[in-house]
Amino acid sequence: MYSKWNVLIAGMVLVTVPKFLLADDCDVALSEKLMTVVESRSSDASASAARAWFCSMNYSEYKENSSTDAGGSYGAFSADYGSSEGKYNQWKSENCGDSSSSESLDTFRYQAQRSVDPKLVDAWRDCKLARSGLTCIATPTSNGRSFKLMYSWRPTGSSSAHYVETFIDNGVKVSTGNNYLREPGDKLLMGQHEALIRISDTEETASVSIEAEYDGSSQSCVVTVSPPPPPQVEKKGLAGVWCYPAGTYGAVNGQNVSLYARKFVKTSDGWRLTRVDSDRREYPYATLQSVSVQQNGEIFKTVEKLRPGMQGYVPYHPLVMPLPAPPQGQAGISPNDLNFSVKINYRLDGEDTLITERIVLRVDPWGERDYSTILPLHTFRRCD
């Protein structure tokens, strides 16, 4: 039975990390710190480290060791991708390339060193290099074209050890220009050693392997440094200008006019919705008080709250909707005392098609009525 520890990603994805996924306990503090501060460090390195973390797990490991809140997301990974094995594997095929689980973990540790407190990184390195036996780690440099190899030899006895073979793939040792560290047969001294490695092709993976012999047994370690994946282009989602189908008309300011587009804008305070005419001029909806949006994968659920007394005037397709029948005993309530909101479900098909799936008018305190069979369910096209 393995022990577990928890990390919180952006307050949305809770991952219980099994220790069998980690090389040793030294990694726990580094991993935990990255995942708890990564939201405030929205850098390429932290995004790459977090992406590599999910790449290191298969779907069974992800489901066994994580729980997600519906609609939650972090960076390249949305909780919706964890809702099925098919979606999870699709996300990995689009984001992880050909990297193995161990290579993804190496990328996670390497990029994490760029993202967390330097004091914590120093403590992590000290912990790793204090282990018994032969240990090696890769530390990034500022230029991105080289890395520092740090390795230590801490034998359990007093016998001497010697190098059998060292090899640098896709790189050379800066001080000598060789693609190896030491000659075979050279004595491996106890303690810590360092070498600066220049990567030959920064778009390809570099690695260093060390094999030594100690008291008749083989000792070895390998580190890999993979190029970070290109920054992922954030999907536009609902934000943008969405054009009505050609020939769509509705009442605007008492006149029947051609409807051109609606524009959703995501701000730091939430969402804003405006009307756009054929000349690309924006106008506020006079009836609209506020709009809210909830995303669950490709589904966007919007709530358009109308100003008091609008009596069901819907910005989506401007017209006055017939009110639902009032409950018994409430027929005397004036429409000016009612609160109206329109709930619309959209489905994003690709990046440029927005399909209306449901429209519901809510009248407080009367209740709701589904208008999906009364109002046209438009298919919008992105026209930014």
Structure tokens at 186: 């050279």
Mean pLDDT for 237-257 is 79
Tell me the sheet residues that pair with 221: 210
**For residue 19, is pLDDT > 50?**
no
Residues 47, 135 within the same domain: no
Q: In this predicted structure, what is the pLDDT of residue 86? A: 86
Residues 222, 94 within the same domain: no
Q: In this predicted structure, what is the pLDDT of residue 24? A: 60
The answer to whether position 206 is within a domain reads: yes
Residues 13, 100 within the same domain: yes
Mean pLDDT for 73-79 is 56
Residues 105, 175 within the same domain: no
Structure tokens at 219: 């000792």
The mean of the pLDDT values for the chain is: 79
Q: Which of the listed residues 65, 82, 114 is the one where a domain comes to its end? A: 114
Residues 180, 305 within the same domain: no
The answer to whether position 233 is within a domain reads: no
Residues 76, 195 within the same domain: no
Q: In this predicted structure, what is the pLDDT of residue 173? A: 97
The answer to whether position 70 is within a domain reads: yes
Q: Which residues lie below 8 Å from residue 118, measured CB to CB, with a gap of 6+?
A: none
Q: In this predicted structure, what is the pLDDT of residue 7? A: 33
**For residue 283, is pLDDT > 60?**
yes
CATH classification of the domain holding 171:
2.60.40.2410
Q: Which of the listed residues 114, 148, 166 is the one where a domain comes to its end? A: 114
Residues 193, 69 within the same domain: no
8: confidence class by pLDDT, cuts 50, 70, 90: very low
350: confidence class by pLDDT, cuts 50, 70, 90: confident
Q: What is the CA radius of gyration of the chain?
A: 29
Structure tokens at 90: 């699709």
Q: Which of the listed residues 227, 254, 277 is the one where a domain comes to its end? A: 227
Residues 196, 142 within the same domain: yes
Structure tokens at 59: 């779907």
Task: Give the separation between CA 355 and CA 378, rounded to whole angstroms.
Answer: 6
The answer to whether position 120 is within a domain reads: no
**For residue 58, is pLDDT > 60?**
yes
Residues 244, 222 within the same domain: no
Task: Give the separation between CA 258 and CA 256, rounded to whole angstroms.
Answer: 7
98: confidence class by pLDDT, cuts 50, 70, 90: confident
Structure tokens at 243: 């054009």
Structure tokens at 106: 């190496």
Share of the chain above pLDDT 70, in %: 73
Mean pLDDT for 192-196 is 97
Task: Give the separation between CA 240 and CA 280, rounded to whole angstroms.
Answer: 12
Residues 28, 155 within the same domain: no
Mean pLDDT for 250-269 is 78
Mean pLDDT for 176-192 is 96
The answer to whether position 137 is within a domain reads: yes
* Higher pLDDT pick, 44 / 117: 117
**For residue 23, is pLDDT > 80?**
no
Q: Contact 89/59 with Cβ under 8 angstroms?
A: yes
The pTM score is 0.55
Residue-wise over 328-351: b if at least 16 C-beta within 10 A, else e?
A: eeeeeeeeeebbbbbbbbbebeee
**For residue 39, is pLDDT > 70?**
no
Mean pLDDT for 336-352 is 86
Mean pLDDT for 95-123 is 83
The answer to whether position 76 is within a domain reads: yes
Residues 209, 248 within the same domain: no
78: confidence class by pLDDT, cuts 50, 70, 90: low
Residue-wise over 124-138: b if at least 16 C-beta within 10 A, else e?
A: bbebbbeeeebbbbb
Residues 368, 254 within the same domain: yes
Q: In this predicted structure, what is the pLDDT of residue 17? A: 39
Lowest mean pLDDT among 15-19, 44-48, 61-65: 15-19
- Of 38-42, 185-189, 240-244, 252-256, give the range with the top mean pLDDT: 185-189
The answer to whether position 300 is within a domain reads: yes
**Which domain covers residue 215, as residue numbers?**
131-227
Number of domains in the chain: 3
Q: In this predicted structure, what is the pLDDT of residue 329? A: 63
Residue range 320-337, pLDDT digits in tens: 556 666 666 665 666 677
The answer to whether position 125 is within a domain reads: no
